[in-house]
């Protein structure tokens, strides 16, 4: 009897230990980077939060909007944010400060299967600009200092096309407070031109298939007849869905499985969360972002 009792007690102890470990994480926190207005970002993320509760068994999933990219970057570095989907430059900022802070687990595949997109420079059509040279001495707006398409890539790629440094070609540069606000600033005349992003695939009238212009057209706050695209970067790797390495490995695996299955289970939720006509999540390795990490280190430093 004592042997049986010992086995039973050991089994109960193991069960209690496993249960306690599972309950160590009582809340998951999703960070939103402010690239779109807060209310819309939250609305598009609520279905993800509800799905994660079921998929992971974590009883509470909270959504934390930030007014800018850096708020989410600092949250991931400090462990106050567990999950975020951001551009590659934001990931690079984290890696350059703490290579062990996050894992990039997934990225999106677009309507054409591509895992890349473009930085786009746009201006008001009625200004009469038809080429980059027309913008010499004008005011250029960037989306955010931690944006890949809205700041980093233009500073790397534009100089070759304008014949010199960005600061010398344009009369003034500044930041527009996220992609949506920047394009609205171009429309209201705050900026002569601004940098944003899109898939470069599909109809211009729809703002392409994914990206900020597409989202703005869908919301009815942009008519692409009012703007003109004056420049397009080389293709940029789609940004990663990141998870904090402070989470247990088994929980990270459940989070990854949930997102991988999301397009098939709830396409509307997936496309809302990822900003357009994306078709799937695909697994990604840190090496996918090596060029962006190197570019950020060269241009920004961290």
Instruction: Return the pLDDT at 24.
Output: 83
**What pLDDT does residue 7 have?**
33
Sign of CA dihedral 292, 294, 299, 302: positive
Closest CA relative to residue 122, chosen from 145, 141, 146, 147: 141
Task: Calculate helix-pair angle for 88-97, 290-299, nearest 10 degrees.
Answer: 70
- Per-residue confidence (pLDDT) for residue 238, from 0 to 100: 98
Interval 238-293: pLDDT, tens? 999 999 999 999 999 999 999 999 999 999 999 999 999 999 999 999 999 999 99
One digit per residue, pLDDT tens: the chain, 302 residues?
343 334 333 333 333 333 334 448 999 999 999 889 999 999 999 999 999 999 999 999 999 999 999 999 999 999 999 999 999 999 999 999 999 999 999 999 999 999 999 999 999 999 999 999 999 999 999 999 999 999 999 999 999 999 999 999 999 999 999 999 999 999 999 999 999 999 999 999 999 999 999 999 999 999 999 999 999 999 999 999 999 999 999 999 999 999 999 999 999 999 999 999 999 999 999 999 999 999 999 998 87
DSSP string, the chain: -HHHHHHHHHHHHHHHHHHHHHTS--EEEEEE-SSS-HHHHHHHHHHHHHHHHHHH--SEEEEEE-SSHHHHHHHHHHTS--EEE--HHHHHHHHHH-TTSEEEEEEEE-TTS-SEEEEEEEEEGGGT--SGGGGTTSEEEES-TT-IIIIIHHHHHHHHHHTS-HHHHSSEEEE-SSHHHHHHHHHTTS-SEEEEEE-S-S-GGGTSSBBHHHHHHHHTS--GGGEEEEEEPSPEEPPPEEEETTS-HHHHHHHHHHHHHHHHH-HHHHHHHHTBS--EEEE--GGGGHHHHHHHHHHT--
Q: What is the pLDDT of residue 13?
A: 39
Give the phi and the psi of residue 58 in degrees, each rounded to 5.
-75, 125
Residue 302 has a pLDDT of 75
pLDDT at 22: 41
Taking only the tens place, the pLDDT of each residue in 205-219 is 999 999 999 999 999
Residue 301: the pLDDT is 84
Beta pairing partners, 31: 64, 84
Query: What are 276's two structure tokens?
Result: 């357009």
Cβ contact 28:60 at 8 Å = yes
């Amino acid at each position: 009897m004592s042997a049986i009792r010992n086995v039973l007690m050991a089994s109960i102890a193991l069960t209690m230990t496993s249960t306690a470990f599972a309950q160590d994480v009582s809340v998951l926190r999703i960070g939103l980077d402010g690239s779109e207005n807060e209310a819309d970002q939250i609305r598009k993320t609520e279905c993800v939060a509800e799905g994660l509760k079921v998929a992971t068994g974590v009883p509470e999933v909270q959504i934390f909007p930030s007014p800018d990219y850096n708020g989410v970057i600092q949250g991931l570095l400090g462990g106050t944010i567990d999950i975020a989907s951001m551009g590659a430059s934001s990931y690079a900022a984290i890696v350059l400060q703490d290579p062990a802070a996050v894992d990039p687990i997934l990225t999106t595949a677009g309507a054409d299967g591509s895992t890349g997109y473009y930085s786009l420079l746009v201006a008001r059509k009625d200004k009469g600009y038809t080429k980059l040279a027309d913008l010499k001495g004008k005011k250029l707006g960037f989306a955010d200092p931690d944006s890949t398409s809205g700041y980093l890539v233009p500073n790397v790629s534009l100089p070759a096309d304008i014949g010199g440094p960005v600061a010398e070609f344009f009369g003034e540069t500044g930041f527009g407070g996220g992609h949506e606000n920047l394009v609205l600033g171009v429309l209201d005349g705050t900026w002569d031109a601004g940098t944003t992003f899109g898939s470069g695939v599909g109809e211009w009238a729809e703002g392409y298939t994914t990206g900020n212009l597409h989202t703005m057209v869908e919301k009815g706050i942009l008519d692409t007849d009012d703007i003109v695209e004056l420049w397009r970067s080389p293709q940029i790797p789609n940004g990663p869905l990141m998870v904090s390495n402070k989470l247990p490995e088994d929980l990270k695996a459940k989070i990854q499985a949930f997102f991988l299955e999301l397009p098939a289970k709830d396409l509307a939720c997936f496309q809302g969360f990822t900003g357009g006509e994306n078709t799937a999540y695909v697994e990604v390795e840190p090496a996918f972002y090596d060029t962006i990490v190197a570019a950020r280190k060269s241009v920004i430093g961290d």
